[in-house]
Structure 1
Amino acid sequence: MKKAATRRLLAPVAGRVLALADVQDPVFATATMGPGFAIQPTDGRVVAPVSGRVTVVAATKHAVGLVTASGLEVLVHMGIDTVELNGAPFVCHVQVGDTVQAGEVLAEMDLAALQRAQKIATVIVVVTNGQTVLDDLIVAATDQMVTAKTAVATAVLAVTPVPGAQVVTPTTAASDAKLESESESKSKSKSKPNSTSKYAALATAIVTNVGGPGNVNSVIHCITRLRFYLKDEHRAQDAVIANLDGVIDVAKAGGQYQVVIGPAVNEVYDAVMAQLGPAFADTTAGTPTATATQAAGAPTETDAPTGWLPRLRHGVSQVIGVMTAAMIPVIGILAGSGILKGILAALTGFHVLTVTSGTYMVLNAVADATFYFLPVVLGFTAAKKLGSDPIVLAIVGAILIYPSLMTAAGHATTAQITFFGVPTHLMSYAASVFPMIVAAWLGVSVERGLKRVIPLYLRSVFVPILEALILSVIVLVVIGPLITMISKGLASGILAIYNFSPALSGLVIGGLYQTMVIFGLHWGIIPIVINDIATNGHSYLNAILSITMVAQGGAVLAVFLKSKNKPLKEISLAAAISAFCGVTEPALYGVNLKYKRVFVVASIASGLGGLLTGLLHVNNYALSGSLIGFPAFITPGVGIGPNFYGYLISHYGTLLIATTLVYLFGFSDKMLPATSATAK
């Protein structure tokens, strides 16, 4: 067996060594571009971390790509989002085709100019083809000060290279294509027709899925990414774009919709511009005014919705878009957890298991953990969607469900607290969605503000903890009590309607309850249900809530039956089963809200089902519902009788209504993105 060879990577600049995960750019921090390390510079002189040939020099001078004799493709990226500065703070000393030795000067960066432009000067080194040519990249102890040319990392090659040979990989080929393109920029392109066709096809798919030309204000690119300024980011199909061949990932930051391509970004950008036309080239991206405007994501006057109703619709659409995008990564495990919860409910209902048995406790922990810790997961995914710090927002989610706070929130006598003299009411944030979306949205501004006032050398310690503190306090002291107040008011109104007319309350509650779930306003109703069952042994209200689960399940079942898109059919079926087991989150966030008409039609069907439930005076005798909870509708001491028959009529009638209405009026594969509608 051949012994694995190693190659040293030098510090490209003097400063403090950072782990890649500490870089304040999600694409680099998650190693999407490959393994590597970073340096927080104290000097602007940038040297080559390896010996090799220069394959890429960014037009904006902020990045240089090298390829070594052993096939390592090494990218030196100077600063974060510095492409927007149009090369002003950089001076490059090399050009494409040059051969350099490790430690030789590549460029100089003006650190003072970067600070004035409020840009982070971190120098990032990544091996862009590391997944194919490396077994490991070992970085020396981080958080230590080093001088330029100090060996800080060791690359362990996957195969011992032949001296002087080059390992050919797809990314190497892309870099060579880039070199050939730049060296012949003044002559006729010599790209092969199939390469041109590949980039053109990818460009078409990207433009289509960002919402088409009509949704694009302008496009720029850096060394690895296409950076779109979109009129409405929520029209972009993130998952579809991220899964395209030739796309590494999708990121959002600074008002830009970023499609990570890698070394072939120039070819893809040219193909995009060939389709959009030169009018979409952002020639002012480097100017301070343009950068400030674009970073804020400000729409033009013609793009901004006018009138209170269009603005309201736009705002609601943005909130729903963020919630669904943040939930997509966990929809699968939520659906599986919901099904397991349903199975456990059936097993305990038929006395196969008891809630005190060890088997039940373990299985219940597996089924319930995703829901209990949902704020933590959502903090991470929503932050990635909105461009705030995912780790900090995950910590905020953990703070909201911290055991002592959750325990206090569970008792009326301890739920009312003061924070530095400010009275606040604690609520349970387990399985909550909306508060974390608000926190992630605010996190962008809070983090930006903290970075403006905290010196660079203190940011890594103080920015995360202060951001977590500020966001947690906002949620606990402002958002939580506001939600509690609104939900209590809604609960009182719903109770008054029910006392006036059970049928009318069924129509109202059935139609609105799942919308209340989305915004966390349903918590005011839950105590009423618990109190009814505890004091009276039954709850008419819970029977109506049960109907709403069936309606959402029926709606997503219709999507499964009608769609020809295989991935959508798979998630729809799992979400339907989960809803029938009493857990609607996968149906809500995975499908129904994403295709808004499905949710609207499902809510109408739910209202009709609630009306039917009220007319039949269906009663519920336990904290269970939906189709899996049918034992909760068997009247104690009576057995199967009129109430159970009313359950069958109302619930399966709602299932039929919801499925039929959505199948006929609520969904079509035409609502899917063009590239996914025909997926088999």
Structure 2
Amino acid sequence: MPVTTSTIIPVVAPVTGQMINLATVSDSVFSRGLLGAGCGFIPQTDQIVAPVAGEVTMIAKTKHALGFKTKNGLEFLLHLGLDTVELAGTPFRLTVKVGDHVAAGQLIAQMDVAAVAAAGKETTVLLTITNAAERVHALLLAASNQVYPAGTVIAGITLNLAANHEVGTIGPPATSTATLANAIIQAVGGPSNIDSVIHCMTRLRFYLKDASLANDVAVARLDGVLEVARASGQYQVVIGSTVAEVYAAMLPQLGVSADDKVADSSDLPPTQTFFGKVWRRLSQFIGVMTAAMFPIISLLAGAGLLKGVLAAIVGFKLLATSSGTYLVLNAVSDAVFYFLPVMLGFTAAKRLGSNPVTLAVVGAVLTYPALVNAAQKASTAQISFFGLPLMLMNYTAAVFPMIVAAWLGKYVERGLKRGLPAYLQGVLLPILEVIFLCGVILIGIGPLTTYLSQGLANGIVALYRLSPAVSGLIIGGVYQVLVIFGLHWGLVPVVINDLATNGHSYLNAIISLTMVAQGGAALAVGLRARQARVRHLSVAAAVAAFCGITEPALYGFNLKYKRLFVAASLASALGGLVAGLLRVNNYALSGSLIGFPAFITPGVGIGPNFYGYLISHYGTLIVALGLALVLSLGQHFQAKSALPTA
């Protein structure tokens, strides 16, 4: 059938800003053109205008996306920012509703660009033609990387018009929505494996009872599916503009009525059991921790490597600890971990929507030298805050308190905005927020973790005296869980006391092999990942763990891909059992693979204890790597989720 072209249809800039090529957008679903041809804008103002003349056909519940249809049958998607669905509509104010007819360049919305950026989201405004493949003969775009005022013509479109094809009658894909819905259900493990399902603008989001039952390859091959990914505890299937129809067809097949459906991902999905709710919240908490840590993983890994190299150089007497070179390099490696709360406050705040600079200051307060010194003298000196007693602890390298502070920060900020006059907010709000959050940590979270860690330390010491093998199994299996919540600090004084009074520590030998296990699990990512950046980061994280620094492996990969953490925990539990049976001993505050000299018995040299170290530690490495490779079959390791939060 011959194809003819129509006159040129103009498209205007939806916002004043720099126009960018869609291929350069960080979200691969948009950059790969899966949602149609188009372009992006880096906004310079808050005003959003209609890109074309036509009807408003769709508005997301969270106000971050709008759909338009022209009289020629072109369908446009206007997406305000990336991952902005998580902001629940707060930064957006719309002046149109579904069914309204708009003119090109007409004001349709206000987007608080500063608020979006402060929440840690990309502000890029995306404009795509979702039915470009069927309708568009040619798309002529203005020059990229230029600033265009809102309402300025930036593109012209000519249409494909087949002789027997009427405008606006694009048919459904070859696969009907009901058939596609059923095929997806079966490929993710059947109705019994689906805890709940929601949808957003472009994809279905499943909460599965057993994610390992989902067949990624089978789902991805279905006609009508654009992309598959696992992220944020969800199994995500990208459908595109017809996702609502597929979702609606899926509901009756799952035995769910239309009245019960969850229409937007900003709502909480239904949960059938108490344990399901607990697991989901735990997954969300871990997701926040890993997302907050990921931007600084490479820095942590490098610092860990540097610490390991310094330990080896000093151990072989190649460099004195009193030399200036050592002091500077040691400061570089230590500062990254010492001031971890500062960096973590910034990244966690961006992830959770609180003020990043304010939370960085909270981290700085917790690592303030005077407070650190006071914590070291806590057994002999007591201090109070507004009359409330403080039980100080060392918050350097702390993770859990900063995550809680970042989560709490956005609510504190909202409360202060309501309570303070507008003319005082600019001066008083940030400092009052810092004071309140520091007080919560120092009075509440600090004592709680201190009491728990001390209790755990006493219990573990008693258990080890009762049975080294059983305690090795338990400590090896749970130690890195204690690290996640900051409860491992209770064991540090026990180890130091053992080394100071007895000259050795069985407990530190078990802790040492948990580091090896985390490194082994992260190394599996390096062997499996397809992306070069992921391979390089995971190998660096593994080497850092072998040097005694587990944070890059733990937060960068093993918690993000939970099966890896399970593999590492099982391996370290078995390694702890072996270390307990062999009574492996540690003679210095060092460990993992780089700290092998700490397992050479003083006055004896290489003997049974060192051989026990080799068996337990390298055995743990082999088991962790093997288990991680097996448990991660079918797992896709990515530097960043390929899916947009649309």
Q: Does TM, normalized by the shorter one, top 0.5?
A: yes
Verify: 1:545 aligned to 2:511, yes or no.
yes
Following superposition, the deviation at residue 526 of structure 1 comes to: 0.4
Deviations 1:68-102 (A, max 9, x none): xxxxxxx999999796899776799x97655x7xx
Q: 1:578 aligned to 536, 544, 547, which one?
A: 544
Q: 1:650 aligned to 613, 616, 621, which one?
A: 616
Relative contact order higher in (CA < 8 Å, ≥ 6 apart)? 2
Partner of 1:478: 444
Q: How far apart, CA to CA, are the structure 2 residues paired with 1:603 and 1:82?
A: 37
Deviations 1:650-676 (A, max 9, x none): 222222332333334xx2331337999
Deviations 1:321-348 (A, max 9, x none): 2222222222222222211211111011
Verify: 1:270 aligned to 2:241, yes or no.
yes
Distance of aligned partners of 1:459 and 1:294 in 2 relative to their CA distance in 1, 3 Å threshold: farther
Verify: 1:602 aligned to 2:573, yes or no.
no
Q: Pairwise mapping of residues 3-22 of structure 1 onto structure 2 (< 5 A)? A: none
Following superposition, the deviation at residue 589 of structure 1 comes to: 1.6
Q: How far apart, CA to CA, are the structure 2 residues paired with 1:645 and 1:427?
A: 37
Distance of aligned partners of 1:257 and 1:634 in 2 relative to their CA distance in 1, 3 Å threshold: closer
Q: How far apart, CA to CA, are the structure 2 residues paired with 1:675 and 1:341?
A: 25
Q: How far apart, CA to CA, are the structure 2 residues paired with 1:494 and 1:527?
A: 13
Verify: 1:639 aligned to 2:610, yes or no.
no
Partner of 1:438: 404
Q: How far apart, CA to CA, are the structure 2 residues paired with 1:652 and 1:217?
A: 43
For the 8 Å contact 2:199–2:264, the answer to whether it is kept is no
Partner of 2:273: 306
Counterpart residue identity of residue 672, structure 1: H
For the 8 Å contact 1:513–1:548, the answer to whether it is kept is yes
Counterpart residue identity of residue 668, structure 1: S
Following superposition, the deviation at residue 495 of structure 1 comes to: 1.1
For the 8 Å contact 2:477–2:569, the answer to whether it is kept is yes
Distance of aligned partners of 1:133 and 1:614 in 2 relative to their CA distance in 1, 3 Å threshold: same
For the 8 Å contact 1:618–1:647, the answer to whether it is kept is yes
Distance of aligned partners of 1:399 and 1:297 in 2 relative to their CA distance in 1, 3 Å threshold: farther
Distance of aligned partners of 1:215 and 1:446 in 2 relative to their CA distance in 1, 3 Å threshold: farther
For the 8 Å contact 2:506–2:584, the answer to whether it is kept is yes
For the 8 Å contact 2:88–2:266, the answer to whether it is kept is no
Distance of aligned partners of 1:648 and 1:470 in 2 relative to their CA distance in 1, 3 Å threshold: same
Q: 1:668 aligned to 628, 632, 643, which one?
A: 632
Distance of aligned partners of 1:423 and 1:215 in 2 relative to their CA distance in 1, 3 Å threshold: same
Equivalent position SS for 2:634? helix
Q: Once the two structures are aligned, what percentage of the paired residues are identical?
A: 50
Deviations 1:142-197 (A, max 9, x none): xxxxxxxxxxxx99xxxxxxxxx977xxxx57xx699x9xxxx983469xx9xxxx
Equivalent position SS for 1:537? coil
For the 8 Å contact 1:338–1:582, the answer to whether it is kept is yes
Following superposition, the deviation at residue 641 of structure 1 comes to: 2.6
Partner of 1:536: 502
For the 8 Å contact 2:401–2:445, the answer to whether it is kept is yes
Partner of 2:555: 589
Q: Pairwise mapping of residues 27-38 of structure 1 onto structure 2 (< 5 A)? A: 37=44
Verify: 1:326 aligned to 2:297, yes or no.
no
Distance of aligned partners of 1:455 and 1:602 in 2 relative to their CA distance in 1, 3 Å threshold: same
Q: 1:187 aligned to 168, 172, 197, which one?
A: 168
Q: How far apart, CA to CA, are the structure 1 residues paired with 2:467 and 2:285?
A: 34
Quick check: 542-551 or 82-91, which moved more? 82-91
For the 8 Å contact 1:386–1:441, the answer to whether it is kept is yes
Counterpart residue identity of residue 445, structure 2: I
Q: How far apart, CA to CA, are the structure 2 residues paired with 1:220 and 1:612?
A: 49
Deviations 1:466-525 (A, max 9, x none): 333222211111011100000000001111122223333222221211111111001011
Q: How far apart, CA to CA, are the structure 2 residues paired with 1:90 and 1:214?
A: 36
Equivalent position SS for 2:549? coil
Following superposition, the deviation at residue 431 of structure 1 comes to: 1.5
Quick check: 326-335 or 513-522, which moved more? 326-335
Q: How far apart, CA to CA, are the structure 2 residues paired with 1:601 and 1:444?
A: 35
Q: 1:519 aligned to 463, 485, 494, which one?
A: 485
CA-based RMSD of the aligned residues comes to: 5.7
Partner of 2:354: 388
How does the TM-score come out when normalised to structure 1? 0.63
Distance of aligned partners of 1:422 and 1:33 in 2 relative to their CA distance in 1, 3 Å threshold: farther
Distance of aligned partners of 1:294 and 1:453 in 2 relative to their CA distance in 1, 3 Å threshold: farther
Q: Any stretches of 5+ residues in structure 1 without a counterpart? A: 1-10, 13-26, 40-45, 66-74, 110-119, 138-153, 156-164, 194-204, 236-245, 262-267, 281-289
For the 8 Å contact 1:503–1:611, the answer to whether it is kept is yes
Distance of aligned partners of 1:570 and 1:108 in 2 relative to their CA distance in 1, 3 Å threshold: closer
Verify: 1:350 aligned to 2:316, yes or no.
yes
Equivalent position SS for 2:458? helix
Following superposition, the deviation at residue 586 of structure 1 comes to: 1.6
Distance of aligned partners of 1:453 and 1:492 in 2 relative to their CA distance in 1, 3 Å threshold: same
Distance of aligned partners of 1:220 and 1:448 in 2 relative to their CA distance in 1, 3 Å threshold: farther
Equivalent position SS for 1:627? coil
Q: How far apart, CA to CA, are the structure 2 residues paired with 1:657 and 1:609?
A: 9
Equivalent position SS for 1:555? helix
Counterpart residue identity of residue 187, structure 1: G
Distance of aligned partners of 1:55 and 1:362 in 2 relative to their CA distance in 1, 3 Å threshold: farther
Counterpart residue identity of residue 168, structure 2: S
Deviations 1:417-460 (A, max 9, x none): 21111112111112121111212222233233333334555444
Equivalent position SS for 1:423? strand
Following superposition, the deviation at residue 545 of structure 1 comes to: 1.1
Distance of aligned partners of 1:549 and 1:468 in 2 relative to their CA distance in 1, 3 Å threshold: same
Following superposition, the deviation at residue 549 of structure 1 comes to: 0.9
Counterpart residue identity of residue 410, structure 1: Q
Q: Pairwise mapping of residues 373-384 of structure 1 onto structure 2 (< 5 A)? A: 373-384=339-350
Deviations 1:202-248 (A, max 9, x none): xxx9xx99xx9968865566xxxx7999879xx9xxxxxxxxxx99x
Distance of aligned partners of 1:461 and 1:513 in 2 relative to their CA distance in 1, 3 Å threshold: same
For the 8 Å contact 1:563–1:668, the answer to whether it is kept is no
Following superposition, the deviation at residue 34 of structure 1 comes to: 5.4
Equivalent position SS for 1:443? helix
For the 8 Å contact 1:59–1:87, the answer to whether it is kept is no
Following superposition, the deviation at residue 305 of structure 1 comes to: 4.0
Partner of 1:365: 331
Partner of 1:630: 596
Counterpart residue identity of residue 608, structure 1: L
Partner of 1:452: 418
Deviations 1:114-169 (A, max 9, x none): xxxxxx9xxx999989x97558x8xxxxxxxxxxxxxxxx99xxxxxxxxx977xx
Counterpart residue identity of residue 270, structure 1: S
For the 8 Å contact 1:556–1:572, the answer to whether it is kept is yes
Equivalent position SS for 1:671? coil
Q: 1:500 aligned to 457, 463, 466, which one?
A: 466
Following superposition, the deviation at residue 412 of structure 1 comes to: 3.0
Q: How far apart, CA to CA, are the structure 2 residues paired with 1:346 and 1:648?
A: 17
